[in-house]
């Protein structure tokens, strides 16, 4: 029985290696002493491992999340495992523009620089709900909240340059079908269908890549933005999925896909790789440039998308 179990385990390990190769490890030894890094959703999953790695390199790391208890535990964990005591938590709820605005106001007043902004927080599955701002919660959490946050922190990024913006997207952005007249995701016909939840996620991640392309054209020299697919990762991002589905997914994903530390490698690479200094507008997978949805190279579409996002977020500040 023991031999059979060991054999089965070996087969599962081989299957995992075949399905999700352990490539794309960030091997950069860059130090970040004196730098400030902000990681949204840095209290779990790849966000936590990203924050841990940046702290290990000497950065002051600020975790931004809506879950206070989990975030405080993450801070304690990072300090214990890295020896860097310059790690803190600040409350941020991307589902509410008022929270984003308050967070940015406080950050700009109390933090003297921002060298690395990691837009990592997100969700996959969420029952169709509209935020207080009149936007589908998936789109607001995954795109429009981070979009507004980044714009509000832009002056800090510019004054701290060279600085980097990193956007965690997904390969599933390739399946997005974005309607420029409904970026808010309110009138989309598939809102209440099971498959629609995944299409909404794909649209939010396509929005990430479109945003990256639009922002890259508009940033001044010294501030860069790049996006990435982390791989299929076992993280808490699936917390909105029904528990019976999540249990099955957890079993499969633990056996087959990347763990959080492995999934964080491309994010870390975009944060610290010295060879990427000054490089902007790229989409990465496994620490290498990777193809993306062709619509993201449509200059007119990208510009119209940018204008729509500005309109949706600017009116919330008035």
89 in catalytic set: no
Residues 48, 71 contacting (CB under 8 angstroms): no
List pLDDT tens digits, range 49-83. 999 999 999 999 999 999 999 999 999 999 999 99
The answer to whether residue 194 scores a pLDDT higher than 60 is no
> What is the reported pLDDT for 1?
38
Domains in the chain and their CATH numbers?
31-317 (3.40.50.720)
pLDDT digits 0-9 by tens, 18-56? 555 556 899 999 999 999 999 999 999 999 999 999 999
pLDDT band for position 2 (50/70/90)? very low
What is the DSSP track for 73-121? HHHHHHHHHH----EEEEE--TT-HHHHHHHHHHHHHH-S--SEEEE--
Phi, psi of 237 (to 5 degrees): -65, -20
pLDDT at 6: 44
Between 8 and 118, the higher pLDDT residue? 118
Cβ-proximal residues to 112 (8 Å cutoff; 6+ apart), any chain: 36
Rounded distance, CA 230 to CA 293, Å?
A: 16
How far apart are alpha carbons 50 and 45 in whole angstroms? Answer: 9
Average pLDDT, the chain: 88
Q: How many Å apart are CA 39 and CA 57, to the nearest integer?
A: 15
pLDDT at residue 5, rounded to an integer = 42
Q: For residue 189, name the pLDDT band (cuts at 50, 70, 90).
A: low
* pLDDT, tens only, 71-121: 999 999 999 999 999 999 999 999 999 999 999 999 999 999 999 999 999
Please state the rounded mean pLDDT for residues 233-258. 62
Q: Mean of the pLDDT values across residues 157-181?
A: 95
User: Chain-centre distance of CA 148, in angstroms?
Assistant: 14
179 vs 115, higher pLDDT? 115
What pLDDT is stored for residue 292 in this prediction?
97
Q: Which of 89, 171, 198, 201 is catalytic?
A: 201
What's the predicted TM-score (pTM) here? 0.87
Q: How far apart are CA 251 and CA 248, in angstroms?
A: 5
| CB-based burial label for 281 (10 Å; 0-12, 13-18, 19+) | middle
pLDDT at 240: 54
Own/partner pairs, 301-305, CB within 8 angstroms, 24+ separation: 301/180, 301/210, 302/210, 302/213, 302/214, 302/217, 303/214, 304/180, 305/178, 305/180, 305/183, 305/207, 305/210, 305/211, 305/214
């Amino acid at each position: 029985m023991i031999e059979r179990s060991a054999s089965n385990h070996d087969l599962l390990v081989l299957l995992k290696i075949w399905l999700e190769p352990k490539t794309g490890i960030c091997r950069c030894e860059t130090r970040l002493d004196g730098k400030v890094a902000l990681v949204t959703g840095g209290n779990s999953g790849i966000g936590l491992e990203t924050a841990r790695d940046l702290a290990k390199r000497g950065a002051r790391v600020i975790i931004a999340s809506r879950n206070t208890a989990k975030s405080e535990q993450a801070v304690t964990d990072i300090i214990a495992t890295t020896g860097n005591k310059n790690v803190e938590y600040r409350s941020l709820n991307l589902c509410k523009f008022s929270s984003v605005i308050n967070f940015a106001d406080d950050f700009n007043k109390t933090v003297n620089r921002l060298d690395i902004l990691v837009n990592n927080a997100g969700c996959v599955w969420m029952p169709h709900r509209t935020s207080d701002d009149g936007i589908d919660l998936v789109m607001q959490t995954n795109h429009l909240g981070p979009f507004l946050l980044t714009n509000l922190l832009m002056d800090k990024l510019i004054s701290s340059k060279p600085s980097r913006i990193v956007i965690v997207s997904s390969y599933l952005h390739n399946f997005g079908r974005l309607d420029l007249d409904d970026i808010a995701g309110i009138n989309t016909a598939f809102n209440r269908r099971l498959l629609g939840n995944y299409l909404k996620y794909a649209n939010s991640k396509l929005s990430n890549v479109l945003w990256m392309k639009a922002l890259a054209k508009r940033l001044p020299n010294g501030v860069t933005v790049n996006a990435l697919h982390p791989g299929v990762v076992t993280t808490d991002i699936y917390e909105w999925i029904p528990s019976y589905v999540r249990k099955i997914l957890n079993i499969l994903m633990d056996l087959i896909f990347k763990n959080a530390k492995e999934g964080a490698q491309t994010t870390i690479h975009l944060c610290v790789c010295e060879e990427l200094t000054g490089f902007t507008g790229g989409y990465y997978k496994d620490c290498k440039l990777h193809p993306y949805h062709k619509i993201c190279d449509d200059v007119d579409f990208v510009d119209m998308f940018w204008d729509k996002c500005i309109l949706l977020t600017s009116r919330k500040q008035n």
